[in-house]
A and B are shown apart, each in its own frame.
Chain A
Amino acid sequence: MNGKEFWGNDDNRTSYVVILGFMLALSLILSYVESLIPFPFGVPGMKLGLPNMAVVILIYRYGAKEGIVINVLRIILSGFLFGNLFGIMFSISGALISFLCMIIAKKSGLFDMRGVSVIGGLCHNIAQLLVAAFIVKTSGIMFYLPVLLVSGAVTGFLNGFIAEKLSIYLNKSFIRSKNR
């Protein structure tokens, strides 16, 4: 999937703004849905990572610049809406590192959309664990590493899978509305 054909040819500014706004709204609502779903394991930092779906689609559709803008806006907005300042600082560290790794993974051309998403999920969890270890100044937290690795890989794979399917349908629906 090279991504360049998504949503037809939208080199005009209006559709660029509309689609970025649409993606920001999508990632925000996914953040909200994620905060509604309780994760029944007592492992800190473990979550579904649904908003990563929107980020992966953005990276493939546009690139690093748009991805990071939407990602940071999403974290700040959802942090103030559904969380607190502590949560913002905590999740921004994981998000930035996972974002960087996803960009590198995509540039390397080794993985498809699902693989890039898996890398994102893994790096997010590892980064959050390292931040947590730094805050509480203990290495005992590494006990959670295997659980977080598997959960990051599985949720990342599912998110990437959904993002891949979603981008195909978005592509179709936008082309249809263009031809109307």
Chain B
Amino acid sequence: MGGENQKKNTYILLLAVCIIAVCIFVANKALAKTGDYAEVSVDGETVYELPLSENTELLITGTDGGTNKLIINNGVCYVTEADCPDKLCIKQGKISHNGESIICLPHKLVITIHNSSDTSSNVDAITK
């Protein structure tokens, strides 16, 4: 009966997706190190590089003139105010691990945490 096979395949698909997702999640967590600086980029271009060790408050202007307020406090980085419609950047919460990011699509703004000892990131560009 084809219907039974289709049912079985659906459950196999669900299970496979969950296993893959868990693998990627574990891999992400295992590779994650705490970062030490936040890279702020607008439309793919880096505009600021801020050390997480210093408490900072910064108003960032995105591509369409919109603004996001970025706070760095006790080594964690987050957005408190934004004039975009969906406020997803605020809901994305606090980030501190290497590779974590906050993304505001309407303003083409990306805040990414990096680790300066990580050889894959460009160490030369850190300003302190």
Would B21 and A149 count as touching, CB distance under 8 A? Answer: yes
Cβ A41 vs Cβ B91 within 8 A: yes
Asked whether A143 lies within 8 Å of B99 as measured between CB atoms, the reply is yes
CB atoms of B105 and A157 under 8 A apart = no
B1-9, B51-59, B65-73 - interface stretch:
B1-9
Closest CB-CB distance, A126 to chain B, in whole Å? 11
Docked-complex contact A145 and B24, CB < 8 angstroms: yes
Is B10 at the interface (CB under 8 A from chain A)?
Answer: yes
A140-B110, A140-B112, A157-B14 known; A112+B6 contact, CB < 8 A:
yes
On whether the beta carbons of B105 and A132 are closer than 8 Å, the reply is yes
B interface, size bucket: 35 or more
Complex Cα gap A149–B13 (Å): 12
A138 to B17, CA, bound (A): 24
- Interface residue B28 (Cβ < 8 Å from any Cβ of A): yes
The answer for the CA separation of A86 and B106 in the assembled complex, in Å, is 8
Partner of B110, one of A43, A114, A138, A147: A138
Residue contact B92 to A149, C-beta cutoff 8 Å: no
Contact A122 B110 (CB under 8 A): no
Identity of the chain A residue whose Cβ is nearest the Cβ of B85 in the assembled complex: A84
Please report the C-alpha to C-alpha distance between residue A112 and residue B88 in the assembled complex, in whole angstroms.
35
Number of residues from A at the complex interface, CB < 8 A: 33
B8-32 interface mask toward A, CB cutoff 8 Å, 1 = contact, 0 = none?
0110011001101110110010000
CA distance A112 to B3 in the complex (A): 7
State the main secondary structure of chain B at its contact with A. helix
Q: Once bound together, how far apart are the Cα atoms of A153 and B3, in whole Å?
A: 20
Is A33's CB within 8 Å of the partner chain B? no
Least Cβ distance of B108 to chain A in Å? 6
Residue of B nearest to A149 (CB): B21
Residues 102-117 of chain B, each 1 if its beta carbon lies under 8 Å from chain A, else 0: 0101101110100000
Query: CB distance A146 to B101 under 8 Å?
Result: no
The smallest C-beta distance from B82 to any residue of chain A, in angstroms, reads 12
Q: How far, in angstroms, from A153 to B99 measured CA to CA in the complex?
A: 25
B49 beta carbon closer than 8 Å to chain A: no
Contacts from A to B (Cβ < 8 Å): 1, 41-44, 84, 86, 90, 109-112, 114-115, 118-119, 122, 132, 135-138, 140-141, 143, 145-147, 149-150, 152-153, 157
Using a CB–CB cutoff of 8 Å, the interface residues on chain B facing chain A are 2-3, 5-7, 9-10, 13-14, 17-18, 20-22, 24-25, 28, 41, 43-44, 85, 88, 90-93, 99-101, 103, 105-106, 108-110, 112
Besides the known contacts A115-B9, A153-B18, 19 further A-B residue pairs in the complex with CB atoms under 8 A apart: A42-B90, A42-B91, A42-B93, A44-B105, A84-B85, A110-B5, A110-B9, A111-B13, A115-B10, A132-B105, A136-B44, A136-B105, A137-B44, A138-B101, A140-B112, A145-B21, A146-B28, A147-B25, A150-B18
